[in-house]
Amino acid sequence: MRRVLKVQATLCAAIREYLNGAGFTELLPPIIGPVTDPGVRGAKQATIDFYGREYKVMSSAILYKQMMAASLGRVYFFSPNIRLEPLETVATGRHLVEFVQVDVEEAGATYVDAMRRAEELVSHVTDAAKRRLGDELAASGRRTLNGSGRPFQRITYDRALAMLADHGRAIPYGVEIPWDHEEFLSSQFTEPFFIYDYPRGSRGFYDREDPDRPGILRDFDLLYPEGYGEAISGAEREHEYARVIARLRETGENPSKYEWYLDMLREGIPPSSGFGIGVERLTRYICGLRAVWEARPYPKVAGVFSP
């Protein structure tokens, strides 16, 4: 554990090194707010009483970083997140209730730009791990480490479903790829790879629908190889007031809960793109760990009471 935590500290330093060098500004993350990301894939949100009003503990700072990018251009948080995961996620080895996500957002960027940025970040961190952490990784049993070769392969959501069907893992169109299928798909690759162009309805209201391809979102996931699964999730953001209102209502959300966010959109903000990368999952991949809870002191795992 001492070795893993020292590796993790070096990885965090490498993330900051890359983002600061690319002109990003690190900001203090929000911890609570009137709303948080509703698209948490089966997890529940944690709620507190904030002087008589219900506030949410952040499950993702997407809405906040969109606001900050409108002001500062390029921003990032090391953001603590809470997601009350379903009990069955214990078996995946990839889910924590409490985790840290590096949230990145860039004004004026497309999702193609965001994919390139994510690719550069992962490559930089992987290279740094190889250069600076060789002895520690070898001591952990990590003999090979891929992720510095670019460009990463890119496959569409449709192609991903076809690949799964070819292996007897057919899933219906229009849903998130289930964790076990995602893990299998990840095991078929030896380098990180992108899945992009998810269908509308499979993601949150804030992922932008392609104006030229109705029903297709301009978004992506980056998956680690070797069965480690999802590394990064990102997208262009819906930033037009009327479109966001329509998407909120479509997904069953109450627009009145998003009043501060909608006020910002009504005034007008620039388009932006961004992504989030989990620090513990990155550590797990770099160190070759069995499960993500090995990448955090005092981990919080679904259903397990711990310090």
Is residue 194 included in any domain, yes or no? yes
Is residue 302 included in any domain, yes or no? no
Cα atoms in the 13 Å half-sphere on the side-chain side of 305: 0
Is residue 54 included in any domain, yes or no? yes
Is residue 301 included in any domain, yes or no? no
Q: What pLDDT does 134 receive?
A: 87
Which residue carries 């590394």 as its tokens? 231
Is residue 219 included in any domain, yes or no? yes
Domain of 116: which CATH number? 3.30.930.10
Is residue 304 included in any domain, yes or no? no
Q: What are 232-243's pLDDT values in tens digits?
A: 999 999 999 999
Determine the Cα–Cα distance for residues 54 and 59; give it in Å rounded to an integer.
15
Q: Which of 96-105, 190-199, 246-255 has the least mean pLDDT? A: 246-255
Q: What is the CA radius of gyration of the chain?
A: 19
pLDDT at 143 over 90: no
Determine the Cα–Cα distance for residues 118 and 112; give it in Å rounded to an integer.
10
Is residue 300 included in any domain, yes or no? no
Is residue 306 included in any domain, yes or no? no
8 A C-beta contact, residue 156 and residue 197: yes
12-20 average pLDDT score: 98
Considering only CA atoms, which of 77, 68, 75 is closest in space to residue 270? 68
How many distinct structural domains can be found in the chain? 1
Q: What pLDDT does 276 receive?
A: 97
Q: What are 121-135's pLDDT values in tens digits?
A: 999 999 999 999 988
Highest mean pLDDT among 116-130, 131-145, 248-262: 116-130
Q: What are 69-88's pLDDT values in tens digits?
A: 999 999 999 999 999 999 99
Considering only CA atoms, which of 11, 3, 6, 43 is closest in space to residue 281? 11
Determine the Cα–Cα distance for residues 1 and 227; give it in Å rounded to an integer.
22
Q: List, as one string, the DSSP characters of 11-63.
A: HHHHHHHHHHHTT-EE-PPP-EES---S--TTPBPPEEEETTEEEEE-S--HH
- Looking at the chain, the whole-number percentage of residues with pLDDT higher than 90 is 85
Domain range for 142 is 2-295
Considering only CA atoms, which of 301, 229, 276, 294 is closest in space to residue 101? 276
